Amino acid sequence: MKIKTGFDYVLNWREKYIKERHFILILSLMVGILSAIAAIVLKNTIHFIQHLLMEKIDAGNANWLYLVCPVIGILLSGLFVKYIVKDDIGHGVTKILYAISQRKSRIKTHNTWSSLAASSVTIGFGGSVGAEAPIVLTGSAIGSNLGRLFKMEQKTLMLLVGCGAAGAIAGIFKAPIAGLLFTIEVLMLDLTTASVLPLLISSVSAACVSYIFTGTEALFKFSQTEVFAMERIPYVLLMGVICGLIALYFTRSMIWIEGIFRRLKTTFWKKYLLGASMLSILIFLLPPLYGEGYDTIGNLINNHYDELLDGSPFYMFQDNFWGMFIFMLLIIFLKVFASSATNGGGGCGGIFAPSLFLGCIVGFVFSHTCNHLIPFLPANHLPEENFALMGMAGMMAAVMHSPLTAVFLIAELTGGFDLFLPLMIIAISAYFTILLFEKHSIYSIRLAQKGELLTHDKDKAVLTLLDANTVIENDFISILPGMTLGDMVKVIAKSRRNVFPVTDKNNILRGVVLLDNIRNIMFRPELYDRFNVKKFMISPPAKINISLPMDKIMQLFEDTKAWNLPVIDDEGHYLGFISKSKIFNAYREVLQENFSEDN
């Protein structure tokens, strides 16, 4: 007999007195508040570590500290993950997408704190990544685990995961609208009447908590000095295309570099030494690559670009256009190596901040170069601060495939709502540029390649949520190739199926027997000993490997026009059959459970 705990009484009381839809709103409020608190703790811890490291440093020797600190940071983070967490906590947003698609929105409990600890050390010591992906994973883990604590169903867990992500973005950036849009665009949760209110509650409550503890000022201080001139629209469009192409380079380069680190499976130390060497050299040569890069963004959107070369070997080119141009170009093309080296070498961080940093640099370089080289510009010149701001929106829209999130986030981050039109123009042009070459965002590309990505396409989303193991039918009677027709007739008499898998003594699938194909001889006893299974068995039109994603399985049914197909493992062992009718039944159940607005 199970002994009831105090929490069991709480659950019973809640079920008795609080309706499900009302309790979801209460949980969304709790998730928003907790996610914001986690975001504040992470930001303050990063700033505390940075202050601790920098307060006693002589500016003349600062470059050498930049050389050493990030290396120490990724070492401490890597050892923490290897020996304490003992789990992969990188690629936070990808982990959330995987949990939604393949783990019924269940995120491990340690993700509520492990990413906070690892990323605060990585970034605090100067790792060239951002804190946003770790805090989004933390917020989503809070939502998932809180939902599981209160025994919520899978559909509600998915919503609470989205609430955690929305709350984390709203909390760390003080951007409630961007938090809501991030959940819809990046996590690809459908906005329905049942989900919009909880997501809004989480976003707004998180932003309010952030305002209470950190003030109401925007993250970046920006004051627009000029009204946007419509004559500059062609330049905004052109810069959007450039942002899209650089985002494509950033995405594919990161996948490639991470592949190199992933192939170094032998020891932690090989990855660390490679990552530490790359990061150390890059930051020594290009100091703006140190840390999140938000100081650089602040300088560029306030026209203090001359400070970027401080402590750099390029310092002598501070007043030289081409020297500055080459310096900025190197940052644009080498940032991806610094970020990949940070994560690949053992650090923990995301690409939110790197994409904003890159966009700001691209926007500044574009406008600064146009102002220097083109004598007759519309309205005399391109305001470099404004274009730096627009570049952030363009790069983020392209890298994350999230134009709406990018527009509202940049507007909320800087208070630059007067630039709403050009922000939308550049976000759309950058997004459509990368879409020509890359269908999926940097977060979802790995899952999409494996067929494990949940999307806004409901048909594909439902198929992604289906597991091939749950639709296998095992009531087909196996027969051996050497059995006679007489033996086969006895098997048919016991079976309710008209398909029979033929397997050898090692359970390797050799073929199938269809009842229709032997109907003309099965009632002729004189043939019972003359024919054996090997003579009348046929090859199935296709075989389903158990590891195939469900959309590929459905494609096999479509191509073969079959109604039943056998399932095998990687070695060819027979596992059962999958039928179209079973998939359709499971499809309807998953659709009702996860996408119906009624419950």
Question: Residue by residue, what is the 3-state secondary structure of 274-295?
Answer: HHHHHHHHHHHHCHHHCCCCHH
The answer to whether the 6-214 and 230-456 domains have the same CATH topology is yes
465 vs 93, 189, 278, 461, 503, CA distance in Å?
18, 13, 40, 6, 31
Q: Please provide the DSSP assignment of 299-355 as one string.
A: HHHTT-GGGGGTTSTTGGGTT-HHHHHHHHHHHHHHHHHHHHHHHHTT---BSHHHH
Q: Is pLDDT at 136 greater than 80 in this prediction?
A: yes
First-to-last alpha carbon distance for the chain, in angstroms, is: 32
Could you tell me what percent of the chain has a pLDDT over 70?
86
Q: Give the integer Cα–Cα distance in Å for 172 and 209.
A: 10
Query: What integer pLDDT is reported at residue 3 of this predicted model?
Result: 56
67 with 284: CB under 8 angstroms? yes
Ranking 48-52, 143-147, 265-269 by mean pLDDT, the lowest is: 265-269
β-bridge partners, 502: 479, 511
pLDDT tier at 35, thresholds 50, 70, 90: very high
Query: What integer pLDDT is reported at residue 489 of this predicted model?
Result: 84
Query: What integer pLDDT is reported at residue 599 of this predicted model?
Result: 43
| 499-503/564-568 β-pairing | unpaired
Query: What integer pLDDT is reported at residue 60 of this predicted model?
Result: 47
CATH 1.10.3720.10 fits 6-214, yes or no: no
| 544-545/564-568 β-pairing | parallel
- Most confidently modeled range among 77-91, 453-467, 585-599: 77-91
Neighbours of 336 (CB within 10 A): 22
Q: What contacts 142, CB < 8 A, 6 or more positions away?
A: 31, 34, 35, 38, 112, 164
**Residues, the chain, total?**
599
* Average pLDDT for 446-470: 59
Query: What integer pLDDT is reported at residue 536 of this predicted model?
Result: 84
Mean of the per-residue pLDDT values for the chain? Answer: 83
Tell me the pLDDT tens digit for each residue of 163-212: 999 999 999 988 899 999 988 888 776 666 677 899 999 999 999 999 99
- Most confidently modeled range among 202-206, 282-286, 297-301, 342-346: 202-206
Ranking 235-249, 309-323, 543-557 by mean pLDDT, the lowest is: 309-323
Q: 227: helix, coil or strand? A: coil
Q: Residue written as tokens 């959940």?
A: 183
Q: Is pLDDT at 302 greater than 50 in this prediction?
A: yes
Fold classification of 230-456 is Clc chloride channel (1.10.3080)
Q: Give the integer Cα–Cα distance in Å for 464 and 455.
A: 9
Q: Is pLDDT at 33 greater than 80 in this prediction?
A: yes
Q: Give the integer Cα–Cα distance in Å for 461 and 453.
A: 8
209 with 37: CB under 8 angstroms? yes
Query: What integer pLDDT is reported at residue 333 of this predicted model?
Result: 93
349 with 131: CB under 8 angstroms? yes
Q: Is pLDDT at 56 greater than 60 in this prediction?
A: no
| Domain positions in the chain | 6-214, 230-456, 460-595
Could you tell me what percent of the chain has a pLDDT over 90?
26
Query: What integer pLDDT is reported at residue 1 of this predicted model?
Result: 44
Q: Is pLDDT at 551 greater than 80 in this prediction?
A: no
Tell me the pLDDT tens digit for each residue of 89-134: 877 787 887 777 777 778 989 989 999 999 999 998 988 898 888 9
Give the residue among 475, 481, 485, 544 at the shortest CA–CA distance from 515: 485
Tell me the pLDDT tens digit for each residue of 351-403: 888 999 999 999 999 998 888 887 666 556 788 888 988 999 999 999 998 99
* Average pLDDT for 400-407: 91
Tell me the pLDDT tens digit for each residue of 474-487: 888 888 888 888 88
Q: 125: helix, coil or strand? A: coil
Ranking 205-209, 307-311, 422-426, 518-522 by mean pLDDT, the lowest is: 307-311
334 with 113: CB under 8 angstroms? no
Q: Give the integer Cα–Cα distance in Å for 215 and 466.
A: 46
The hierarchical CATH code for the domain 460-595 is 3.10.580.10
Q: Give the integer Cα–Cα distance in Å for 331 and 545.
A: 46
Q: 531: helix, coil or strand? A: coil
- Positive or negative torsion for Cα 575, 577, 578, 581: negative
3-state secondary structure labels for all residues of 426-460: HHHHHHHHHHCCCCCCCCCHHHHHHCCCCCCCHHH
